[in-house]
Chain A
Amino acid sequence: MKARPATVRIAAGQGFWGDWLEAPYRQVTGGPVDYLMMDYLAEVTMSILQKQKARDPSLGYARDFIPLMERILPTVAERGIKITANAGGVNPQACAQAVAELARRLRLGGKLRIGVVTGDDLLGRLDGLLARGHELRNLDTGRPLSDVRDRVLSANAYLGAWPVVDALRGGADVVVTGRVTDTGLTLGPLIHAFGWRPDAWDLLAAGTVAGHTIECGAQCSGGNCLVDWERIPDLANVGYPIVDAAPDGTFEIFKHPGTGGRISVAGVTEQLVYEMGNPAEYITPDCVADFTTIRLEQKGKDRVRVSGVKGRPATDKLKVSVAYFYGYKAVGTLVYAWPDAYKKAQAADRILRQRLADLDLKFEAVLTEFVGADATHGPLARAAARLDELPEVQLRIGVRSRDKPAVERFTREIAPLILNGPPSVTGFAGGRPKPEEVVAYWPALLDKHMVEPCVDVVEV
């Protein structure tokens, strides 16, 4: 048996699909790391990928993963760095195949193994599950999925770290997954490297906290950090975070030398509470982590130590994310200038709303915001601002409806205001807003034993 390493370094390369393209390259070249972890999948991403796959069965994964891999694969292969990424979306097999073709093109044939994790996709099994009494009730509203069954676009169970572990144990250098949790992409390598047991709840919770800390990339290394934000150095050259973990579940967060940003207790704390529910119960497929047990300590410049994490057994459910077609929306904007910018924008809003009412258009929602006055902080901002002296205000008005013609008609009611509404208006060069299809998200739970993760490892 191979000796266990003293520590394992896992570098965050992408915090979401669309994150900084330079980050993964810098992470694998800026200093020694053992793993590169890349998180691609937000809740709505799966439905976009499902639509792409419906048009072309060879698609349905994060396509820009491939050019990104082209840039780093030679370095990764040379240095023995392993990659975990949920870039596979709704078509991990096709994604893995594209990586394999790329590897052969880069003359890495015989030097690389690719692991593929599937089994999360429930779309083809939905009717069977519903027929067997799995109602997939909405976690927020309590409604059964049968309410929207005919409009479902994608349905995926969140898999955890263990299928990633299986792929790594099978010798995979690059693990491509579908809907694996963000934290599982970090916990998987730690379980694999240290041989953590499936019931070592404190260790699994520690690895989950490590994953949560770096899953949003630079958001824990100086990005979007409120404390002392003006003095966070060189964000243009920001270093993405790296976990340096020990077998006992303690770990340190650091970044490569010479990079910008900052790793501080304050910044790491901001990331820990990000998208947090009940902090004592951070539920994943692998364990329940207790964030009220985390200890943070500044260990030096740009290095924070994390310890003390406690965990409890995993639940017998998996979260399921269903995306379904909801309706249409459109948002139109116009900009009003001083003097009386805010009053003019308000007047335009009243006129527009009257015209929509006179046309007898039915909307589920009409929302007006005055950008520059209240779009971010609502009435709290209006109470604090000198509204009569604002230099400019953007009227931003949005509508939502199941009825597409109503939304289309709304989009034609913005421009006329330029000539037949309040004065000193500009900022309409973008033209008429376009109605947008709304895909909504339906969170549910499913008995864990109903989902069978599948792992393949293939040599390139």
Chain B
Amino acid sequence: MKRIRLLDIAHARSGDKGDTANVGLIALKPAYYPILVKHVTAARVARHFKGMISGPVERYELPNLHALNFLLHGALDGGGTISLKTDAQGKVFSTALLRLEVEIPR
């Protein structure tokens, strides 16, 4: 097995809806998409962002775009105008997710 960062096999963009951040995680090659589906579960992402979000994580699959969409609830200190965070609109949760490491067969 070898350990890789999602940064090596995926790219991402994130945005906001109220106090929820969304992260679209996109495989850099179609062959990587099954790795994302298998390893980057909602539970795994919730553990990754422990201490950064107060609500649950939902995951949706877009096999047509080789992408997963994550909703991170309670991620933005109230969201939009209320939030005191630098990243009040969740713009960089994208690259924060790409720090996640997964183990894949060599």
Contacts and interface: CB of A to CB of B under 8 A. Distances in A.
Nearest to A281: B60
Interface of A is mostly: mixed
Contacts, number: 130
B67 interface: yes
B64 A400 contact: no
Contact of B92 (A271, A365, A376): A376
A68 B35 CA distance: 48
A57 B80 CA distance: 27
B4 interface: no
Contacts of A277: 17, 22, 69, 71
B84 A329 contact: yes
A227 B9 CA distance: 11
A440 B82 contact: yes
Given A269-B67, A371-B86, A377 B95 contact: yes
B63 interface: yes
Interface string A364-407: 01010101000111111100100000000000101110000000
A441 interface: yes
Nearest to A308: B64
B95 A226 contact: yes
B43 interface: no
A275 B84 contact: no
A379 B53 CA distance: 11
A376 B81 contact: no
Nearest to B85: A367
Given A275-B16, A329-B84, A369-B85, A295 B64 contact: yes
**8 closest cross-chain pairs (CB), A and B:** A273-B24, A398-B84, A275-B15, A367-B84, A270-B13, A375-B86, A377-B96, A226-B11
22 contacts: A226-B12, A226-B94, A274-B22, A275-B16, A276-B24, A277-B22, A291-B62, A292-B61, A292-B62, A292-B63, A292-B64, A294-B65, A308-B64, A367-B77, A369-B86, A376-B92, A377-B95, A377-B96, A380-B49, A399-B84, A400-B82, A440-B80
Interface of A: 43-44, 139-140, 224, 226-227, 266, 269-280, 291-296, 308, 326, 329, 331, 365, 367, 369, 371, 375-381, 384, 396, 398-400, 438-441, 443
